Amino acid sequence: MKVAIVSGKAEGPNKLNSFDNALLKARIGDVNLIKVSSMVEKGTEITDLPKLKPGAMVNCVLSKITSEKKGDLISAAIVIAIGDNLGCVAENARINTSPKEVKEEAIDMVKYMMDKRNEKINEMVVEEINHKVEEIGTVVASLVYLNEEIIAIQ
Amino acid sequence: MKVAIVSGKAEGPNKLNSFDNALLKARIGDVNLIKVSSMVEKGTEITDLPKLKPGAMVNCVLSKITSEKKGDLISAAIVIAIGDNLGCVAENARINTSPKEVKEEAIDMVKYMMDKRNEKINEMVVEEINHKVEEIGTVVASLVYLNEEIIAIQ
Amino acid sequence: MKVAIVSGKAEGPNKLNSFDNALLKARIGDVNLIKVSSMVEKGTEITDLPKLKPGAMVNCVLSKITSEKKGDLISAAIVIAIGDNLGCVAENARINTSPKEVKEEAIDMVKYMMDKRNEKINEMVVEEINHKVEEIGTVVASLVYLNEEIIAIQ
């Protein structure tokens, strides 16, 4: 199993388009996202996001937050921890919380998940994104599950 | 890729059954709906909804709204715009907003999405449904992704 | 089609971990859950949950509730009814409602769904779970769709 971790932030004229713009910035705006919960197989490899086939059905864990209040600091974090037998993913999204705290909360959650499964963490990757809202802003951080079917032929 | 656009409205004795009744009216009540976000492949064809296999796993974009307040006007709209390289889908659902506005908002959103992707719209289809709530009412509008596996053999 | 019905309850240091712990107790904590709506094919067989492959993509109907208020009684119920042509699943989750009522509501909803489809109920299974919240508690009840791909090789 291969996964990629991406993030994006954007403004937009309404909630839907703000969210869509953030997905575009994260380079996952042209596919169908199917939200899944938060586990990965053992031996999962974290890679860069390849170009995805427009319209493909893509499984992902999604951390996102939208705010319509000017000045709000919005943050989304996603963290993956991989062990010998499996891996866990935790997402966190907050308004007006220090980016450091949003990130640390996500890390604490994934550590706790791994601990509960008696898994030692061999590898951990964190992605975090922040945005100061101007009108209608969105941040997204996502772990994308990759497979041959969804990757565009270059 | 083939898609169908459907809608339905219904009352029911509780929220779950009201929603289920509206899905039945839309002729997607006998399948498992998996919600996906809102893109379609290039060359997507819009067709009538074929009879689906009961219990099949069906990907869809779903616009829905339920209200328990007698007299509420509930509206759901879904719009698909198709270009040369891909297509976008926008959904909109509102309470006590003029049906015309609900429809136009959805159209504006999809136009904006296509514009952001530098796609010219070759084809656009809108589906809109309204209902005046009596007790517990639901409207649904959905874009259903079709494939051989989910179509019932006649 | 084979399905399994499971449930679990747990406390945790935050909402995400509380929910994750409840999934672990239900023995579906090591897989990716994809939420689907609530229908099953005719001839669906209800079996015990086999050991699932860690990280597998698993379709499920999920009834869940989390509370952060000490003393809250949280309840989740799931019920499946199977007829000659298809089957229906209803979920119910409530706070501070008698477990008996939560269960009966779910049963009433599934009976109504089957009735609307002119299906006679040949088999019905109910799963219900309750928990008195200490700090941050979660209950989950789930119907899990099984297939060869997601079952671990023993």
**Using one digit for the tens of pLDDT, what is the confidence trace for B83-136?**
999 999 999 999 999 999 999 999 999 999 999 999 999 999 999 999 999 999
Residue B61 pLDDT level (bands cut at 50, 70, 90): very high
pLDDT at C58: 96
pLDDT over 90 (residue C154): no
pLDDT at B96: 98
> What would the pLDDT profile of C16-68 be if each residue is shown by its tens digit?
999 999 999 999 999 999 999 999 999 999 999 999 999 999 999 999 999 99
Q: How far is Cα B154 from Cα B18, in angstroms, rounded to an integer? A: 29
pLDDT at C5: 98
Closest chain C residue by Cα to residue B34: C36
> What would the pLDDT profile of C66-89 be if each residue is shown by its tens digit?
999 999 999 999 999 999 999 999
Give the chains touching B; criterion: ≥3 Cβ pairs < 8 Å: A, C
Cβ-based contacts of B117 with chain A (< 8 Å): 24, 29-30
Cβ-based contacts of A149 with chain C (< 8 Å): none
> What would the pLDDT profile of A114-153 be if each residue is shown by its tens digit?
999 999 999 999 999 999 999 999 999 999 999 988 998 7
Closest chain C residue by Cα to residue B25: C116
> What would the pLDDT profile of B24-57 be if each residue is shown by its tens digit?
999 999 999 999 999 999 999 999 999 999 999 9
Q: Which domains does chain A have, with CATH numbers?
A: 2-150 (3.50.20.10)
**Type of residue at C43:** G
| Torsion sign, CA atoms B34, B37, B43, B47 | positive
**Residue A127, helix vs strand vs coil:** strand
A36 reaches C (C-beta below 8 A): yes
Residue B153 pLDDT level (bands cut at 50, 70, 90): confident
Closest chain A residue by Cα to residue B39: A55
Average pLDDT estimate for A40-52: 95
Question: Tokens at residue A134, please?
Answer: 């101007």
Average pLDDT estimate for A44-59: 95
Distances (CA, A) of C30 to A75, A148, C34: 27, 24, 13
Helix (H), strand (E), coil (C) string for B9-68: EEECCCHHHHHHHHHHHCCCCCCEEEECCCEEECCCEEECCCCECCCCEEEEEEEEEEEC
pLDDT at B154: 65
pLDDT at A28: 97
Residue A103 near residue A128, CB atoms below 8 Å: yes
B118 reaches A (C-beta below 8 A): no
Chain-wide mean pLDDT for chain C?
A: 96
Average pLDDT estimate for C92-113: 97
pLDDT over 80 (residue C153): no
Chain-wide mean pLDDT for chain A?
A: 96
Verify whether residue B142 is a known catalytic residue: no
ipTM rounded to 2 decimals: 0.92
Average pLDDT estimate for A68-93: 97
CB pairs B-C closer than 8 Å = 57
Beta pairing, strands C2-11 & A32-35: unpaired
